[in-house]
Amino acid sequence: MKTVIITGANGNLGTAVTQAFLQKGYRVIATVFSEEMKREVVSHTNLEIHAVDLGNEALAASFVKQVIDRYRVIDAALLLVGGFAMGGLAATSISDIRKQLSLNFETAYQVAQPVFLHMLQNGFGRLVFIGARPAIEASYGKDLIAYGLSKSLLFKLAEYLNETARGKNVTATVIAPSTLDTPLNRKSMPDTDPAIWVKPTELAELLAFIVSEASNPLRETVLKVYNNA
């Protein structure tokens, strides 16, 4: 049985991804931020849930070590933890940027670093980061300065990791979705047809493909998952 780490498992995307991987027969090691949030994730025989503040480097490293010690091999890690913030240049302070960096970059890096090194030792592994359209296209990011900047680092990090792993069967992929079809987004944008957005279940299937053997030929992959948004 393959072992996959899924961070942020109680979010809209995390819920869909966790269920998809369980249905496909993976052992899922899921993280949420607090003990209370564990109740938000539906239990399953092959699901193990940890409450971890991944913004804390020591706690993130300890979590990864615990998983490696117990299961020996981590086949994939889907790093879904993140946060969103509005704000153009005039409204964005350096404090706002630091907050978004912590939510979107540090939580990913602090898991990716030990997991990636473990994968290099094993000669196999799949890391998946969740990027964002505003980090790629300035027209979408100009009013989301802190958010876009924090997400942009994930693209560069993936490039560094893929260069480090060149010649090995270890890859880092960045998925850049447009608007996700979630209850919150439907409520906040009632005049937009949600049919043009990306459904979390659809994105979950793409993530399953990325970590499957069918994706072995892919390297340095950035997938823009926009639907018609």
Q: Mind listing the domains of the chain with CATH numbers? A: 3-225 (3.40.50.720)
Q: Given this model, what pLDDT does residue 172 score?
A: 98
Q: How far apart are CA 40 and CA 94, in angstroms?
A: 33
Q: 81 with 107: CB under 8 angstroms?
A: yes
**From CA 180, how far away is CA 206, in angstroms rounded?**
14
The pTM for the full model equals 0.95
Q: What is the pLDDT of residue 65?
A: 98
Mean pLDDT split into 10-residue runs, the chain, 229 residues: 97 95 98 95 95 97 98 98 95 98 98 98 97 96 97 98 96 95 92 95 96 90 94
The reported pLDDT for the residue numbered 180 is: 93
pLDDT of residue 133: 96
- Residues 119, 65: Cα–Cα separation, whole Å: 13
CA distances from residue 18 to 37, 210, 218, 222 in whole angstroms, order as listed: 15, 15, 23, 21
